[in-house]
Amino acid sequence: MSNRSEEDQVLRRSHKDGVLDLMLKRPLRWLRMLIEELHWSFFFGVIVVYGVSQGLGKGLSKVSTQYYLKDEQMVQPSEAQVYVGLIQIPWIIKPVWGLLTDVVPVMGYRRRPYFIFAGVVTMVAMMVLSLHKNLHLGLALTSLVAGSAGVAIADVTIDACVTQCSISHPSLAADMQSLCGMSSSIGSLVGFSLSGVLVHWFGAKGVYGLLGMTSGLTVVVGLLLKESPSRSLDRKHVNEKFLDAGSAIWKTFQYGEVWRPCLFMLLSASVSLHIHEGMFYWYTDAKDGPTFSKEAVGSIMSFGAIGSLVGILLYQNFLKNFPFRNVVFWALSISVMSGFLDLILVLRINLKLGVPDYFFIVVDEFVSHMISRIKWLPLLVLSSKLCPAGMEGTFFALLMSIEHVGHLASSWGGGVLLHALNVTRTQFDNLC
């Protein structure tokens, strides 16, 4: 009897140790390995740009911008769709930023000055939105676009650093993409979790002020990043570099291994029209809708960040060694099926089945973001390995801009659809 009790204790202890190793020790060993193989300043840059600037910033800015356009600027849902698309234009021209970081050194450096510039631009834009009362819609959109440009410039610069390290450490390419995705997801989780509460307490403009202060960390990255100086070029050599870069990228895109994934990225993003802004208005204003509070909206989006993080963990631990085609096929198939969840919600079928709105939307948000992350991670890994040496920032930015063009087409197409169906701030009869 005592022997069995001792065996049970040993089993429980070993199980506990195994869970502790999986949840804490193994991730810490993984992070320590990345810091040792790469450099701490690179690791810090990834955490700041992906975790704070993109992740936390995305979580806070998305909710605050939705309420800013709805309550401060009083725009219609279809107009909000178009304006949100406009804010994403700096991400579409990412190849321009990437080309600048690759071929135009500033004071002898190709990365550090661009981090500093990006941080300053974002800081100024957010402070204008935060401090200016009754800001004209045109000026407000200009500031939002400028803030988005600052984040995009920092993103393309850290993308170039990641791609450089992927080429010099090919065995760590998937690990670096997982680190980037995990930083972004954790930052988004924190941002979305706090967004509703902060918008309720301080208003959308108060959140913009907070974003202006956090953008100072991007400036710190530019000051601390380890980078070897590059030789400054005169205008003639810069022009030659631009031409050489264009030629190298064109030759690379002639390979089927390159243009086919790019075409897939474009089509898969653009053919699925989204009406996120229309759904947001319905969530918060419709008499027959859920009428969620600001806190509820933020917490719902935080579950999307959790789903994204789960998708990264699934890919990192179980899927990264599976064939690329199989992972993308099944992820895309499940993504198509999950698209019907919004229809079930608007038709109120979930209530007929006894499922509360909040629980149903949380599940929808979690599943859609998890599948989306699993779908895109293999493409990011593949893209990082295809970048020509010396053109890392430009080529990777071009690949990502293709994705953003698809999302822009999806957003504007959704705006046209909302306008055609006469979905307004108070009229939602045609939403389903």
> What is the pLDDT at residue 100?
82
Tokens of 334: 């499940």
Of 42 and 228, the one with more pLDDT: 42
The C-alpha atoms of residue 174 and residue 385 are separated, in whole angstroms, by 10
CA dihedral 68, 72, 75, 78 (to 10 degrees): 10
Alpha-carbon distance values, 339 to 272, 273, 333 (Å): 9, 10, 10
4 falls in which pLDDT band (50, 70, 90)?
Answer: low
314 falls in which pLDDT band (50, 70, 90)?
Answer: confident
Checking if the pLDDT of 23 tops 60, the result is no
The C-alpha atoms of residue 250 and residue 25 are separated, in whole angstroms, by 45
Structural domain boundaries of the chain? Answer: 31-227+251-421
Judge contact between 403 and 159, C-beta under 8 A. Answer: no
Tokens of 395: 């080529």
> What is the pLDDT at residue 148?
93
Q: For residue range 339-397, what is the model confidence (pLDDT) as tens digits?
A: 788 888 888 888 888 989 889 989 888 988 888 888 877 777 776 666 666 565 566 66
The C-alpha atoms of residue 292 and residue 308 are separated, in whole angstroms, by 23
DSSP letter assigned to residue 289: S
Judge contact between 319 and 327, C-beta under 8 A. Answer: yes
Checking if the pLDDT of 213 tops 80, the result is yes
Of 145 and 41, the one with more pLDDT: 145
CA nearest neighbour of 399 among 261, 243, 248: 261
Judge contact between 194 and 298, C-beta under 8 A. Answer: yes
CA nearest neighbour of 391 among 138, 93, 156, 188: 156
243 falls in which pLDDT band (50, 70, 90)?
Answer: confident
Question: Under the phi-then-psi rule, with left for phi > 0, alpha for psi from -120 to 50, and beta for the rest, what region is 75?
Answer: beta
> What is the pLDDT at residue 387?
64
Side-chain half-sphere CA neighbours of 156 within 13 A: 34
The tokens 């890994």 sit on which residue?
Answer: 381
pTM of the model: 0.79
Checking if the pLDDT of 144 tops 90, the result is yes
Of 115 and 27, the one with more pLDDT: 115
Q: Is the dihedral of CA 69, 73, 78, 79 positive or negative?
A: negative
Could you confirm whether domain 31-227+251-421 is CATH 2.60.120.560? no
How far from each other are the two terminal CA atoms of the chain, in whole angstroms? 65
Residue 106 φ then ψ, to 5°: -115, 120
